[in-house]
Amino acid sequence: MQINARRLVDRSAVITGGASGIGLASARRMAAEGARVVIADVDAVAGEQVAAELGGLFVKVDVTDPEQVKDLYAQTQEAYGSVDIAFNNAGIAPPDDASILDTDIDAWRRVQDVNLTSVYLCCKHAIPYMQQQGKGSIINTASFVAVMGAATSQISYSASKGGVLSMSRELGVEFARQGIRVNALCPGPVNTPLLKELFAKDLEKAARRLVHVPLGRFAEPEELAAAVAFLASDDSSFMTASTFLVDGGISGAYVTPF
Ligand SMILES: NC(=O)c1ccc[n+]([C@@H]2O[C@H](COP(=O)([O-])OP(=O)(O)OC[C@H]3O[C@@H](n4cnc5c(N)ncnc54)[C@H](O)[C@@H]3O)[C@@H](O)[C@H]2O)c1
């Protein structure tokens, strides 16, 4: 994909889960648009590689750890002098999170920690820098499952994404007059390792989901990255507290084409 826009020059962008999938594609896209990127991930091998490729900074962080998250933004401020964009995107969808009847409390809590508590921590520690600057854009990755129900359930995942969506809306409202925008990105199914892990063992499940996508395919990570760059940039200056669906039409469909 040829990128001509340079909307993020001189801005720093912290990307959690930046070593893979949507985070990786978004890091590449934001760097191509001029941003200084910080790759924040538990995966040090892939994370270092991505940071080197993009001339950015890698910070090894477990997004469930309050001190590590606090330190992530302090390191960004120190390295680049600002925290302009926070893409809070790290997430997991483990196979032991399924129907409520089969999901034990440990699986429930792990998913809540990584997918929801992490977003609380990232926003909590990024916002003070943005308040000082009087400007900032936060993008939190929720999911289309935050607005729709599935019979092939991942109960903690869906609940965590509902929490991300609702938290983003509230933060968007609270901080709007301080120049800080907060939007929830709600992807449909995207062709990433996370999706593959979920469906690798169950092709029937994958086919069952594809039926509901009007565009008839899963998204590519670069298609989400384009949306992230838009939300990060001033092109979306009148958008905050939004439910930004990039879902191939799923949420609008009642009956899909053959
Ligand atoms: N792929 C999809 O179909 C899809 C659909 C809707 C929403 N999402 C959401 O998009 C986000 C990114 O998903 P993806 O498909 O790119 O996943 P992915 O598995 O490709 O990448 C996730 C990244 O997060 C990192 N990560 C996991 N736990 C972490 C932790 N505790 N601390 C720091 N980093 C951690 C991983 O190391 C990995 O690099 C997730 O929040 C996911 O729930 C994905």
12-192+220-243, which class in CATH? alpha beta
Q: Does this model's pTM top 0.85?
A: yes
Site residues for ligand 1, CB cut-off 6 Å: 16-17, 19-23, 41-43, 61-64, 89-93, 114, 141, 143, 187, 189-190, 192-195
Alpha-carbon torsion 212, 214, 218, 221, what sign?
negative
Q: Are 214 and 257 in contact (CB under 8 A)?
A: yes
Strands 85-88 and 136-141: parallel
- Looking at residue 226, its amino acid is A
Q: Which of 73, 80, 129, 157 is catalytic?
A: 157
Query: 22 C-alpha vs ligand 1 centroid, how far in Å?
Result: 7
Nearest atom in ligand 1 to the alpha carbon of residue 161 is 43
Known catalytic membership, residue 254? no
Q: Are 188 and 161 in contact (CB under 8 A)?
A: no
pLDDT in tens, the chain (258 residues): 788 899 999 999 999 999 999 999 999 999 999 999 999 999 999 999 999 999 999 999 999 999 999 999 999 999 999 999 999 999 999 999 999 999 999 999 999 999 999 999 999 999 999 999 999 999 999 999 999 998 889 999 999 999 999 999 999 999 999 999 999 999 999 998 878 776 766 788 778 888 999 999 999 999 999 999 999 999 999 999 999 999 999 999 998 887
- The 10 Å Cβ neighbour count of residue 112 is 18
CA–CA gap between residue 214 and residue 258 (Å, rounded) = 9
Q: Are 63 and 23 in contact (CB under 8 A)?
A: no
